[in-house]
A and B are shown apart, each in its own frame.
Chain A
Amino acid sequence: MRPETEDAVAAQIAAAKGPLRIEGGGTRPIGRPVDGDVLSLAGLSGITLYEPGALTLVAKAGTPLAEVEAALDAERQMLAFEPSDMRRLLGTEGVPTIGGVVACNVSGPRRVSAVGACRDSLLGVRFVDGAGTVLKNGGRVMKNVTGYDLTKMMCGAYGTLGALTEVSLKVLPRPDAAVTVTIAGLDAGRAVAAMSAALTTPFEVTGAFYGPFGDGGTLHLRVEGMEGSVAYRAGALVKELAAYGAATVESDGTATLWADIRDMAYLAESACVTRTALRPSQAAAFIAAVDEGAEATHYLDWGGGLIWSGLDVGAGDAVSVMHGAAARLGGHTTVVKAPEDLRRSVPSFQPQNPTVTALSEGLRAKFDPRGILNPGVMT
């Protein structure tokens, strides 16, 4: 099914006799596979409102991400949360949509700065719940505390509470310039310390990443803004981080490097990829715990607060180890990429405590009483 209006989405959900696989562009098959009819939102397309002077953009859920980004680019603005294109990592085809980005709360390297995640830029949603009712929440203004915030609840709900039909986003000016500060030869623990040092300066680092490149490992920090300001702040960072090693400052290649980081292109060859969110200071402990029982390659984004891990096939046990370690260290692990049989046999999402599980199931029962919207995808 590929409805082209919100009313048609509502009618098709209301008439559905069984489970529906809610999809945007189908480029992010994350979670337990859903056996059901595809309900694609890709037919709901187009930017419905864009006011650069008010920093707001409203688009139908199936609008291609590229179309949104092109419109913003023409006004020197951007989606500040830097959503990834997962096709490289997951080996998928199709067209990423803005609704899919919101449904999965896709947030790139800039998450670590004051900008926040996709959910922090999301101002409002329209969606159709599991009974076929059209609902709205939030709006198009930046400050809105009228009623409960169902908008952010829908962000990262993977279509399980409703099919998004329209999203309203805060956008930001695109920085004029960007440079990358690089320090090589650091292990993960030392790199996290360096990233924390950088992120606790006033120099507004908008990306803090570490990967197993070169001898030991390499740290990249991104600084963005007005031309002169970027040069000044990068220089100040180099001084601040002198104790961690000699740093280079490059503007060439910055855009490509951070796009690769955003899309996690480095793990494209891995059969199984996970994301783990933790306090940065726990990153090294997590890596140590995983490495004891599994062969994994780790990349650290968000200053160490996000750990991407690549594993070999047959990694079911390793996922359990990660869920255990993440829970112990106060975070969580999500399987982003895995063969279908593994996604059916191992939970992709971190199992949660009984209270949170009961509340989540209670919400799903209210918003999707028949249990037909992407059932089980977040388990």
Chain B
Amino acid sequence: MLNDIIKMIPIYVMGRKYEVPQGLTILKAMEFAGYRVKRGCGCRGGVCGACVTLYRRKGTYQLNFGLACQTVIEPDMYLMQLPFVPAHKAIYTIKNVRANDSDVTKLYPELMRCLQCNTCTKACPMELDVMGYVAAAMRGDLEKVVELSIECVMCGVCAVRCPAELSPFNIALLIRRIYGKHVIPPSPQLDQRLKEIRGGEFRKEMEELEKADEAEILERFNEFQATKGEAAIELGKEKE
């Protein structure tokens, strides 16, 4: 398997040196070194936040954070995975929380202690503007919080680094839930559909279909496909 083409480079996993092929992600490099990761690995696709890893490059003083499944190793990287973040999360009943900033600060009063130091933004492995959404939360601009935090993978690094002891990722989660539940207007089309289903509007047709043979089902399918119109690509129709 290993051949001459693969160049080996040194990395340090919790201080111990291993030679691993260059080009691997931190996760694969640790596996190559022999680690069978339990904590510190989840989706392996950059969305679950389980594999966040603290690292330092040789010759620098900065500590960086990256997702192990997404970050490519460099020679002489010092690595340590964060197995767990004991961050604070408020307990609430979402239907009783209102869409105003006072409810947010009641649940997370420490929000107002933000020092605007930008440490959270620098630490975020997803490169989100964490301080930006914290500032928006302080102003009560919920929409901005949703926009800036929607890609958050909940790894908790912002909470680990925050000198004012906030849990920005949990504050953003609360605000996104408030926004989704209380700010976006309900869809009359959905309400109408639920009424129709409750009223049994499709029952008869469905019962007939359950008795239908393959040919009849295919005939209906072709009918539906023929009338799907231009909806496949909604060019220009997409509004923000």
Query: Do A and B originate from a single complex?
Result: no
Binding site for B on A (CB under 8 A): none
